[in-house]
Amino acid sequence: MYVVFIHGPPAAGKYTVGELVAEKLGIPLFHNHLTVDLVGTLFEFGTPEFVAMREKVWLDGFAAAAESGQSFVFTFNPETTVAQETLDRLEKAVTGNAGRVFYVELKCDEEEIEKRLTRKSREEFGKLTDLDLYRQLRSAGAFDEPVLPPALVTIDTSENPPAATAKVITDAVNAAAK
């Protein structure tokens, strides 16, 4: 059992690439924004209640998958409402059940991120689409934490198309999972 933990800044292509990786590996995609959207129906983003419920959904999902041997792809945008300890607990939920976590980092240059942020497709999951807000958050360091473990592979999606990025990831995961 393993988790392909794809992380990166807003608009780096985590969902698009995650879908392709999940398809190629024949495992489900646990798209983080579905959790954010679910919890956001009850609590405002970043409130203590939101953070606690989001963490519970993540932890319960990771633990249940690990206990049943279900591999999956997880997408994640590092941001300061996620405690470092939460990431540690997620990894322990997997490794404590003899699973493995393969961290994959997607990077993207700022000019490309800013172009992608305003795309209509981002609205489907209630993703960040406000360029001014993104710039404010970035300047305030909102995407600098938590710190992720070293990546199995790091890919710049500014120039690499999603299919090529997914191939690099699946090749790396298949090699590491042996």
What is the overall mean pLDDT for the chain? 93
Local confidence band at 54 (pLDDT 50, 70, 90 cut-offs): very high
Q: Residue 123's pLDDT is what?
A: 75
Report the CATH number that the domain containing residue 48 is assigned in CATH: 3.40.50.300
Give me the domain span that covers residue 150.
2-177
Report d(CA 88, CA 94) in Å as an integer.
Answer: 10
Percent of the chain's residues with pLDDT above 70: 99
Spatial CB neighbours of 77, under 8 Å, sequence gap ≥ 6? 7, 8, 9, 10, 14, 32, 143
Of 167 and 140, more confident = 167
Given a cut of 80, whether residue 16 has pLDDT beyond it is yes
Report d(CA 56, CA 47) in Å as an integer.
Answer: 14
Q: Under a CB-based contact definition with an 8 Å cutoff, are residues 146 and 78 in contact?
A: yes
Given a cut of 90, whether residue 75 has pLDDT beyond it is yes
Beta bridge partners, 153, equal 104
- How many independent structural domains does the chain possess? 1
Q: Mean pLDDT across the stretch 61-84?
A: 96
Q: Residue 60's pLDDT is what?
A: 97
Given a cut of 80, whether residue 122 has pLDDT beyond it is no
